[in-house]
């Protein structure tokens, strides 16, 4: 051992860094490989192909009178479709300039002002707000009221009071013609 | 240290697998225990006992349960009406959940009162907090399985908590659901995980006991074990005491199973889940109410929210506060700076402890009430006190308080008490 001690010290640094390089690169390849192997086990939890396939709904608007609302199911969630009265549209437009929690104009939330189409899920913790039926409470702003934690939405579905952070979500939708709409 | 038996078969086994000495050293005459343990020390073994009951009844229920949105509710009703003794086994499992939390909360408060979390038992305490978290996850997912209204809407509200996380929140919620709302994929995975988690708890309990056996149980005086004179063997002294406690506990447990099986439940959960109608008043199970109160306390006008209002929404602040209310317990061994463990010698800490217990009860009460009017204000005050207790009161009191003189040893204290009694 003592004979080779001097050569060891000369080449020692190189040997050591070569070893380190092998260690680090082996560990790196192992870590990347493990991460790739883990991904399918995480991604399997995401929506499956058949769940994604059910992602659009067509609705006939013919039978909805002015001042009436209907609830349709889209992706397992309720979608509120409201045929708004002129007073509701006026109130919504007037409040565009009010002190809003999540500022949005009424025009940006509708394609046709008389049709308000939005996901009927409270943006706080996912309850269904009341206000679709005439017998239900509409909250302080004449729109919808979530009974779970007391969020008040206005006639444009904007959050005005309570713990919810966002306005009721607007899904993507297209009018196929004057009386039917495709959601999703 | 292998044992010698008269029976050659036992000797044959012991020589190859020293299982008998392992059992004896764990819960037998080979495990020395402080001789002054009081009845509050029964709740650890009681918790283990309830865990076994829950696993046994749960495995049996899984033989009759169907994890599908169209069949789950009816399969539970079938267990209740048609399966032999199904009603009994389900009521044991249902009430067993509540019993588990009663026992574990008492066990946890025992640890807080007698300072069992202090050195050298910090990891023992931390593992215990992890067991509590695992229990909560298990209980939450189990409550979803009957697919009643509270199951569905409880699952919706709790999974939606994750949507408060900035940027990735909605993707995480979709991942948890396996769809765009709580639906069949969600029910399936909750059943799978509900079956898995109890075994994770068993694993954590093994580690918990391993850490416990290293430095032995704390004791009501909180002083270290000085020698043999402070100890008695676990068997027969504490095996018999634990069995007595179990008998008393079983009377309490079985009272609910037989005479008030739905006392802890919500009537709304006997209505099948309806994704299009939210029950007017969503409440979690009683053991989650204090955390639910903390979650709901965070509104725009809550003063604890103001310092972070520029950064995060009130909803996210509530979610963070709710999780911190438990995670802060992990730091308790360091938040408490006192060298003395037991509250017997820490009068001010003891007072703070009892106020904290009352505060938790107030939070539980408020959590079960609708979020309106004075309940919001009471909930906010109680929430503020909860955090003040952990991060202000404990650190200050433990460092400023002058503790009463502590006895030299367990046996010295016992001898002194006897001498005093004899003198009177």
pLDDT tens readout for residues B404-423: 999 999 988 888 888 887 77
Helix or strand or coil: residue B418? helix
pLDDT at A177: 87
Give the nearest partner residue to B179 out of A76, A126, A165, using CB atoms: A76
Is a pLDDT exceeding 60 seen at residue A8? no
| Least confident among A5-19, B197-211, B264-278 | A5-19
Query: Residues A40-73: pLDDT tens digits?
Result: 999 999 999 888 877 788 889 888 888 889 999 8
Picking from B160, B181, B299, the nearest residue to A76 by CB comes out as B181
For B125-162, the pLDDT digits (tens) are 999 999 999 999 999 999 999 999 999 999 998 998 89
Longest Cα–Cα distance of chain A, Å, equals 101
Instruction: Find out whether B275 and B152 touch, Cβ atoms under 8 Å.
Output: yes
CA distance, residue A12 to nearest chain B CA (Å):
42
| Residues in chain B within 8 Å Cβ distance of A125 | 156-157, 160-161, 315
For residues B387 and B325, give the distance between their C-alpha atoms in angstroms, rounded to a whole number. 7
Active site annotation includes B242: yes
Which residues does residue A152 pair with via DSSP β-bridges, in sequence order?
A145, A161
Cis upstream peptide for B235 (omega within 30°): no
Average pLDDT over residues B349-360: 98
pLDDT band at B424 (very low <50, low <70, confident <90, very high): low
As a whole number, mean pLDDT of residues B321-335 equals: 96
pLDDT at B192 over 60: yes
* Minimal CA separation from A170 to chain B, in Å: 15
- The whole-number pLDDT of residue A13 equals 57
The pLDDT score that the predictor gives to residue A14 is: 63
CB distance B175–A42 less than 8 Å?
Answer: yes
Say whether B315 is catalytic. no
Which residues 364-383 on chain B approach chain A with CB closer than 8 angstroms? Answer: 371-372
Pairs of CB atoms within 8 A across A/B: 79
pTM assigned to the model: 0.89
Q: How confident is the model at residue A10 (pLDDT cuts 50, 70, 90)?
A: low
Determine contact: A128 vs chain B, CB below 8 A: yes
* Chain A residue at shortest CA distance from B319: A125
Residue A54 contacts B, CB cutoff 8 Å: no
Residue A1 has a pLDDT of 44
Q: What is the mean pLDDT of residues B291-299?
A: 91
**Which residue of B178, B298, B318 is in closest CB contact with A46?**
B178
**Kind of pairing between the strands at A180-183 and A173-177:** antiparallel
Nearest to B380 by CA among B322, B302, B316: B302
Average pLDDT over residues B11-37: 91
Q: What is the pLDDT of residues A121-140, one digit of tens each?
A: 998 888 899 988 888 888 88
What share of chain B has pLDDT > 90, as a percent? Answer: 81
Q: Does A72 touch chain B (CB under 8 A)?
A: no
């Amino acid at each position: 051992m003592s004979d080779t001690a001097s050569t060891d010290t000369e080449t020692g640094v190189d040997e050591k860094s070569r070893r380190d390089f092998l260690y680090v690169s082996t560990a790196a390849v192992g870590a990347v490989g493990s991460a790739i192997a883990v991904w399918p086990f995480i991604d399997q939890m995401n929506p499956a192909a058949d769940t994604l396939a059910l992602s659009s709904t067509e609705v006939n608007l013919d039978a909805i009178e002015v001042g009436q609302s209907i609830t349709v199911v889209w992706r397992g969630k309720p979608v509120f479709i409201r045929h708004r009265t002129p007073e509701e549209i006026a109130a919504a437009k007037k409040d565009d300039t009010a002190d809003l929690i999540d500022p949005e104009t009424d025009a940006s939330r509708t394609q046709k002002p008389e049709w308000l189409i939005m996901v009927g899920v409270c943006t706080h913790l996912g309850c269904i707000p009341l206000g679709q039926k005439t017998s239900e409470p509409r909250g302080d702003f004449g729109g919808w009221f979530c009974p779970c934690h007391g969020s008040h939405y206005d006639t444009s579905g904007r959050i005005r009071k309570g713990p919810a952070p966002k306005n009721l979500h607007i899904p993507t939708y297209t009018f196929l013609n004057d009386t039917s709409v495709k959601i999703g | 240290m292998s044992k010698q038996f008269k029976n050659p078969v036992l000797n044959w086994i012991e020589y190859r697998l020293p299982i008998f000495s392992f059992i004896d050293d764990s819960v037998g005459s080979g495990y020395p225990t402080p001789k002054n343990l009081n009845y509050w020390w029964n709740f650890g073994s009681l918790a283990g006992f309830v865990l076994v009951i829950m696993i046994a009844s749960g495995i049996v229920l899984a033989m009759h349960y169907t994890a599908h949105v169209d069949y789950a509710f009816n399969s539970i009703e079938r267990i209740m009406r048609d399966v032999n003794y199904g009603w009994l086994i389900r009521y044991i499992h249902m009430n067993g959940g509540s019993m588990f939390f009663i026992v574990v909360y008492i066990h946890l408060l025992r640890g807080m009162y007698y300072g069992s979390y202090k050195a050298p038992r910090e990891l023992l305490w931390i593992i215990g907090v992890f067991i509590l978290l695992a229990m909560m996850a298990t209980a939450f997912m189990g409550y979803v399985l009957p697919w009643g209204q509270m199951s569905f809407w409880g699952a919706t509200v709790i999974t939606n908590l994750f949507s408060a996380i900035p940027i990735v929140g909605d993707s995480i919620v979709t991942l948890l659901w396996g769809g765009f709302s709580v639906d069949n994929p969600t029910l399936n995975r909750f059943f799978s995980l509900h079956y898995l988690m109890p075994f994770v708890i068993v694993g954590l309990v093994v580690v918990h006991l391993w850490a416990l056996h290293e430095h032995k149980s704390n004791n009501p005086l909180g002083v270290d074990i000085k020698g043999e004179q402070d100890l008695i063997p676990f068997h027969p002294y504490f095996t018999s005491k634990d069995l007595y406690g179990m008998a008393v506990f079983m009377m309490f447990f079985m009272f609910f199973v037989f005479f008030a099986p739905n006392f802890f439940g919500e009537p709304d959960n006997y209505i099948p889940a309806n994704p299009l109608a939210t029950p007017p008043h969503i409440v979690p199970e009683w053991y989650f109410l204090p955390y639910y109160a903390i979650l709901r306390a965070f509104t725009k006008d809550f003063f604890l929210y103001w310092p972070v209002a520029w950064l995060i929404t009130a909803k996210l602040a509530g979610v963070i506060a709710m999780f911190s209310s438990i995670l802060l317990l992990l730091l308790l061994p360091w938040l408490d700076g006192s060298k003395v463990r037991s509250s017997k010698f820490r009068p001010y800490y003891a007072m703070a402890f009892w106020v904290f217990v009352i505060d938790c009860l107030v939070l539980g009460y408020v959590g079960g009430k609708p979020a309106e009017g004075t309940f919001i204000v009471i909930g906010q005050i109680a929430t503020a006190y909860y955090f003040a207790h952990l991060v202000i009161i404990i650190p200050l009191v433990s460092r400023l308080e002058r503790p009463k003189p502590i006895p030299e040893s367990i046996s010295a204290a016992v001898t002194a008490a006897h001498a005093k009694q004899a003198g009177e």
